[in-house]
Amino acid sequence: MALRIKMCNVFLFGVLVLLSLWVLCVKATVKYDQNSIIVNGDKKILISGSIHYPRSTPEMWPDLIQKAKEGGLDVIQTYVFWNGHEPEQGKYYFEDRYDLVKFIKLVDKAGLYVNLRIGPYVCAEWNFGGFPVWLKYVPNISFRTNNDPFMDAMKKFTTKIVNMMKDENLYETQGGPIILSQIENEYGPMENGLGEPGNLYTKWAAEMAVGLDTDVPWIMCKQDDAPDPIINTCNGFYCDYFSPNTKNKPKMWTEAWTAWFTAFGNPVPYRPVEDLAFGVAKFIQKGGSFINYYMYHGGTNFGRTAGGPFIATSYDYDAPIDEYGLLRQPKWGHLKDLHRAIKICEEALVSGNRNVKQLGKSQEASVFYYKDGSCAAFLANSDPHSSATVSFQNRNYELPAWSISILPDCKNVVYNTAKISAQSTNMKMTNVDRFKWKSFTEEAASDDVQSFEKFGLVDQLDTTWDKTDYLWGTTNVYIDANEEFLKNGNWPVLTVGSAGDALYVYINGQLSGNAHGKLDHAKFTFSGPVKLRGGDNKISLLSVSVGLPNIGPGYETRKHGVHGPVVLSGLKGGNRSLTSQTWTYKIGMKGEFLSLYTRNGTSSVKWLEGPNLATRIPLTWYKASFKVPDGNDPLALDMDTMSKGQVWINGQSIGRYWSEFKASGDCDLCNYPGWFTESKCVTGCDEPSQRWYHVPRAWLNPTKNFLVVFEEWGGDPNGIALVKRVAENNGK
């Protein structure tokens, strides 16, 4: 008996070895047809959501991914951010928030797929569209064109990312989660004048991508003439149209916009979930195979990563998971219910057997058939004004305006896009702490900052290489003692032309005025009276960047900062041009040079406190210490009483704030039916575009924490509060 058992065990062991070898020899596959994505032989309708790893912290990633999975997602989509990974040419960074491999492995651990949008152009309201600034200064380069210097650099980075993924066995064909990759982004003929049919650059990019041999499909976003085998996808609030080049390819919606980004000076957009669900259900009804929410979690533009210019620090995007990692209800729950309804119908949806029946002027049924001949149906009412009663298969159905009902068995409605059953919550910000401040005010164009002289004006980006938001330019003006304005007070007018983004004018060390551009037009002109004195005068211009452009043809060639003309008018001798005078330039602020935002750097200056605390004074640094509040609620800073500047926690940059730039727009109540645009539904008119700034708990120490604020314009730090974000359940 013992011998028989032993022989049996040997036999079973041999069978297991053979099975293991067979599994190793069977290569996983990712394919597609015109109705589905096919993963390892299984036809799928895939629901995806964008979560950008640098816009949250590694400590937040597992929870965000799990909530996405619980919300019914199959795929996490992310861009790859070149300027974060190669901030200096040839020097790579893949740590902390830029640990791409760790992020993808966490997605894999959760049992989800990955759509890796390598680009490496991302747009994404990200600084410089994701390109590193050094790329602009590669000799003879032209971005996103049939240009050898650009293509060489792009291929090198793309190849590095692909090889990194291969080395970590992260492609589905290696047993990993990556099932799709994207090359380039939003390049098609309709996008900002870029591209044209048969463009040599996109053909090269497609061939280069396919040649990297990832064994998973490659996609191009909004590239109508994407060459085979590249799949063309669409972006937008809706995705009802498809390029002619989708024959035998799946219909893919790379970005279903959950709302729109927030910009300083603009109100905050939101998108009612009834409309978003309608757009997604309509796409599936029309034969769509892959839909990705942009964003599913928007997160935060920490540091100086926001692009634009004028993109706010918050990238919340009214996403199903909010900036702080909390569920936005009922949006998350209503979409979860939609995903469940779609999955119930999946077998019929991927069959390729679809019939469309008109049920009325604005009503139709899309019928999909299972293998056994039974069916699933989507009943749509595209009338934005009126509900409708329709007859389908001898039954009557009531369809609210601008809605779609899903019937997995062609009989019973399991979901309607306009009828919300998910719970609803309100988000509240509750004060938990105030701060005891100390202040240090630096002088205009401080002599402690390294300087250089040059005849005429310089480009800000060419000078700073985006290492700082700030560039000082100072020139001297001699005023004759006989000038009339010295007697009558009719001060001369200084006019300064700027290519963007913001400007402060100092006369003899005192702030005289300021001006700035706005989201849709960064260029502006400052013009105002200046109080000059007889003899020598110092005119200092502080030019301020609010993020580099991230979109549009040739955006790398745009000018930045003061480009003139700079003219004094109202003098006895007529207008005086200062444009071509000798200017002294200083890069950055003294406080940056001294690293005042770090604990070690604070000892280099004398700080004032108590009755001597500086308030509403420009160019002032503030510091304070605080303890971590109890609990796990997300935290933020209320910056409502400040004007414009930047914030650091324990040396980590929270980002830019700009409370003084109030939002202008129409914040009337929003009725969801009908076509949606980014300006249709907004809140916060006549208020700061962003008031609260996310403080990741992972950045905090258990006991003492160090908060630093640099105020450019003049604010009252006593109003700054640490707040916690709390979700209150309202039921249905």
Please give the positions annotated as active site: 186, 255
According to DSSP, the β-strands at 42-44 and 354-358 are: unpaired
Determine the distance from the C-alpha atom of residue 347 to the mean position of all C-alpha atoms in its chain, rounded to a whole number. 35
In sequence order, what are the beta bridge partners of 626?
A: 705
- The answer to whether the bond into 589 is cis (omega within 30° of 0) is no
In sequence order, what are the beta bridge partners of 600?
A: none
Specify whether the CB–CB gap between 216 and 171 falls below 8 A.
yes
List, in sequence order, the alpha helices (H) in 61-135. Answer: 61-70, 82-85, 100-109
Map tokens 């982004």 to a residue: 185
Phi-psi region of 359 (alpha: psi -120 to 50; beta: other; left: phi over 0): alpha
Specify whether the CB–CB gap between 438 and 622 falls below 8 A.
yes
Which tokens sit at 458?
Answer: 């310089």
Tell me the DSSP string of 511-537. Answer: EEEEEE-BTTB--EEEEEE----SEEE
Question: CB-based burial of residue 528 (10 Å sphere; 0-12 exposed, 13-18 middle, 19+ buried)?
Answer: middle
Question: CB-based burial of residue 671 (10 Å sphere; 0-12 exposed, 13-18 middle, 19+ buried)?
Answer: middle
- The answer to whether the bond into 553 is cis (omega within 30° of 0) is no
CA distance 619 to 586: 15
**CA end-to-end span of the chain:** 66
**Under 8 Å CB-to-CB from 513, ≥6 apart: which residues?**
504, 505, 526, 528, 530
The residue count for the chain: 732
Which tokens sit at 657?
Answer: 């704030």
Specify whether the CB–CB gap between 253 and 233 falls below 8 A.
yes
Quick one: which H or E segment has residue 624? strand 620-626
CA distance 311 to 317: 12
Map tokens 């006549």 to a residue: 686
Helices (H) and strands (E) in the chain, counts: 12, 40
